[in-house]
Amino acid sequence: MLKVITCFKWVIDEADVKVDASSRRLILDRVGYKISLYDRNAIEEAALLQEKHGASIVAVTVAPPTAKQCLKDALSRGADKACFVNDPSLVDLEPTQTAALLAAAIKGQGDFDLILCGEGSSDLYTQQVGPILAEKLGIPCGTYVNKLTVIEGEKRVIAERKLDDCVEIVSIQLPALVTVLPDINTPRIPTLKQVLAAGKKPVDNITLDKLESPSEPGLETTSILGATMERRRLKFGAEAENIRAAVGALLKEGVIT
Amino acid sequence: MDFELTQEQKTIRDTAAQFVKHELEPIAAELDQTKNREKLKGILKKLADLGFMGLNVDRKYGGTAAGTVAFSLAMTELGRACASTTVTTSVTNMVAEVIQVVGSEPLREKYIPSLCNGEFAAGGFALTEAGAGSDPAAMRMSAVLDGDHWVLNGQKLFISSAEFAGVFVVWAVSDKEARKGKGISCFLVEPSFPGLRIGKEEKKLGQLASPTNELICDNCLVPKENLLGVPNDGFRIAAAELAGGRIGIGSMSLGIGLAAMDFARDYVKEQARLDLPAFRRRGADRMLADNTTRLAGARFLLLRAAFLKDQKTFYAKEASMAKVYATEAANQACHDAMEILGDYGYTQDCPVERFYRDVRVTSIYEGTSEIQRLIIARELLR
């Protein structure tokens, strides 16, 4: 039976982020959280493999303890077990830190065949965690995958990588790590029975004292500001002089030069 | 006193909300305008797959066994997007439930799983007749036992989902000599039974995606074992069943009212940014506050009725109170939302136009507001 590990990130639902009009500061006090979009595709792909080939699925995440509800979400989407690396300090991690913690947690899970990750997270979208994690575990990595086929009995997968100008089809020896694009599947909404059963599935709680604490961050975030659109509410007619006025207004705003 | 929902109830509410956001809301206007029945059936199947067709039905029959509070929460969430889909879901749930409550074991095993898993697109509830709407005991459809079959003759009116229901609960007079209401029996009728015909489709004001038809029994042959419960006890079944249905309809209307208010609120917020005149703004503020308060009250009444039903205590009065209050509050909310939105709210580009049409019938079907008041008063004066 295939042993699949899916990694996911619990992120702010971007639909809930508001921007303060004057300071452009992000207002995050009423935001909801969700499993990062492409990570949902990764979990769904694991669930599809489970239906087709039979597979055990462990969902792994790194987060502060307050993110506990993410486990039920992941478990209701098909994972058999969740692995929750948590500590209050685990917020705003850099990709290298996240990957190091995931690698340590995954090593503790014993043998595995395939690790599935989303191509990038809905919040930062650095696209780095998957490849760094593969490197840390010393396994091959296929990125930008929008179709995945497991060759039964051969311990390998065929992956279609959607690149800028072509589709590359590669054969990857297992164990391996694959990062998926949203085209690979359409994540299903969990059924009520799955959601209700999720609460009864096992969770590995891994606190930092069981792992090495993450390395110091290498980046410093100086500010995060929202993009704003200001409306000038100027109105112009279609006559010639109005067109001149419109062009004048655009010049004045610096939209055209 | 604990106002907190259980984790399970929250989960069901949130799953319904997710379904609304991703599946139902995007197509609700289209369902209404095109009356595309195949698309409606598709969405009903998805709801069944998720477990929404047997919310208060045992797992052994394919239900979710989540209880009435969860049922109420789910109907409210679905009601925010599409009343047609929600009323079909509510009625199907009630049909599955009545079979579980009064049906024999073979009937349960035969019909409930198909209702829960979506093999049947919907269940039908055939009580109303011309001249026997608010007074169902005045029904004239007759049932006569002839050997192994009951022979049904008569005509039912305003039957939701008749076009594609997999099974109908049908009431008919089986003892003509009995006192009014004492000689009615209840039957499970499949659309394929000889003598059953689907009559003309009604042209309605709202809930256009859900078909409503006549159901005609012309020497319709129903196997003897398809009698639901005890002979001549059908009226009691109907009364009990309708009380549960009222929680569903009230909860749905709450969803419609909330959706209308949400839309109006967002519009006012947007307009406030664009310098809405102060006199209009104050009127809108008041309407938003009053309606939101009434809808919050409606929610408490509904959840209390649902809670009492789950406790297996008497809840008919509470269900009627919840239904009359919620549906009237929702009607007012849709009216006021349109008032706030002005001309825009009156166009089909605005969902409130649909909410306004859809909500109207909620204070009419499954017992009109006046019938609810009658039930409440009767309980008070008992």
Question: CA nearest A72 in B: which residue?
Answer: B11
- The structure tokens 């003509």 sit at B176
pLDDT at residue B83, rounded to an integer: 98
> Which tokens hold the place of A21?
């009009």
Name the phi and psi angles at B32, rounded to 5: -70, -45
Name the phi and psi angles at A96, rounded to 5: -65, -40
| Structural domains of chain A, ranges and CATH numbers in brackets | 2-210 (3.40.50.620), 227-257 (no CATH)
Tell me how far apart the alpha carbons of residues B190 and B200 are, in angstroms, rounded to a whole number. 18
Looking at chain A from residue 72 to 101, which residues have their Cβ under 8 Å from any Cβ of chain B? 72
- Number of neighbours of residue B94 by Cβ within 10 angstroms: 24
pLDDT at residue B217, rounded to an integer: 97
A133-192 pLDDT, tens digit each: 999 999 999 999 999 999 988 999 999 999 999 999 999 999 999 999 999 999 988 999
How many CB contacts within 8 angstroms connect chain A with chain B?
32
- Beta partners for residue A58, in sequence order: A5, A81
Closest chain B C-alpha to A188 CA, distance in angstroms = 10
| Structural domains of chain B, ranges and CATH numbers in brackets | 7-120 (1.10.540.10), 124-232 (2.40.110.10), 235-380 (1.20.140.10)
Residue A112 DSSP label: -
> Which tokens hold the place of B324?
């009359």
Closest chain A C-alpha to B51 CA, distance in angstroms = 5
Considering only the beta carbons, identify the residue of A72, A191, A199 that sits closest to B50. Answer: A191
A98-110: average pLDDT: 93
A49-77: average pLDDT: 94
- Judge contact between B159 and B215, C-beta under 8 A: yes
More confident residue, A100 or B280: A100
The total number of residues written for chain B in this structure: 382
Give whole-number Cα distances, B23 to B46, B232, B275, in Å: 9, 43, 35
More confident residue, B117 or A152: B117
- Judge contact between A16 and A31, C-beta under 8 A: yes
Strand-strand pairing, B142-146 and A167-173: unpaired
Reply yes or no: is the peptide bond before residue A175 cis, omega within 30 of 0. Answer: yes
Three-state DSSP state, B117:
coil
B360 CA to centre of own chain:
13
pLDDT at residue A36, rounded to an integer: 95
The answer to whether B64 contacts A190, with C-beta atoms less than 8 Å apart, is no
- In the residue annotation, B8 being an active-site residue is answered as no
Q: Is the pLDDT of residue B276 over 80?
A: no
Tell me how far apart the alpha carbons of residues B362 and B349 are, in angstroms, rounded to a whole number. 23
- Amino acid at the residue A48: L
Task: Categorize the per-residue pLDDT at B279 as very low, low, confident or very high, splitting at 50, 70 and 90.
Answer: low
Tell me how far apart the alpha carbons of residues A12 and B339 are, in angstroms, rounded to a whole number. 36
Closest chain A C-alpha to B240 CA, distance in angstroms = 27
Question: CA nearest B47 in A: which residue?
Answer: A191
> Which tokens hold the place of A31?
């935001």
Q: Is B51 on the interface with A (CB under 8 A)?
A: yes
